[in-house]
Amino acid sequence: MTDGPAISPCLWFDANAEEAVGFYMSVFDDSRILRVARYGEGGPGPVGAVMTIEFDLDGRRFIALNGGPAFHFTEAVSLVVSCGTQEEIDRYWERLSEGGEKRACGWLKDRFGLSWQIVPRALATMMEDVDAARSGRVMQAMLSMTKLDLATLIEAYNAARA
């Protein structure tokens, strides 16, 4: 670690940050709450209610804020979960999409409206291939999917070599 600044995404919730953090911690095994700050006298929230929760998901630090209804999540910001196996893809896809919306190309919105991308780690390598036929076949395969299927993407990548 360095002594430089620490950068953590702050996720703005209306009043359900505690519920959201609990859900995220149930999805990611290596998770913990680091700090909880509560509204005091004169704050915009009820005295004693959770204002912020600083938490760690699998080694990544986040802050959840109960900031009220002024702002909402959009797809302009998403969290990417890079998975090594299809089993991991399946697990995170199913858990994070519970009560949310499954979208195209490995994207989903969780029940709190936060966008996630559940992708195989190998996808970046396949998409960056200098052979336009290979990367194009992978792109076409991905565009036809909702949840990403690693075997199908690998098959498209390898077929492009012929």
Q: Which domain holds residue 84?
A: 73-162
**pLDDT confidence tier of residue 42, bands split at 50, 70 and 90:** confident
- Residues 58, 114: one domain? no
Structure-token match 């360095």, residue found: 2
- 17 and 50 in contact (C-beta within 8 Å)? yes
Retrieve residue 113's tokens.
């409206």
Q: Is the pLDDT of residue 41 over 90?
A: yes
- Residues 35, 103: one domain? no
Tell me the CATH number at 79. Answer: 3.10.180.10
Q: What is the pTM assigned to this prediction?
A: 0.92
Q: Is the pLDDT of residue 148 over 80?
A: yes
- 127 and 108 in contact (C-beta within 8 Å)? no
Instruction: List, for residues 66-120, the tens digit of each pLDDT value.
Output: 999 999 999 999 999 999 999 999 999 999 999 999 999 999 999 999 999 999 9
- 24 and 14 in contact (C-beta within 8 Å)? no
- 72 and 115 in contact (C-beta within 8 Å)? no
* pLDDT score for 2: 64
Which among 71, 94, 117 is the end of a domain?
71
- Residues 40, 89: one domain? no
State how far the alpha carbon of 55 is from the alpha carbons of 32, 58, 79, 94, 98, in Å: 6, 10, 15, 22, 21
**pLDDT confidence tier of residue 160, bands split at 50, 70 and 90:** very low
**pLDDT confidence tier of residue 1, bands split at 50, 70 and 90:** low
Please tell me whether residue 120 adopts helix, strand or coil conformation.
Answer: strand
- Residues 60, 81: one domain? no
Q: Is the pLDDT of residue 12 over 80?
A: yes
Structurally, the chain folds into a number of domains equal to 2
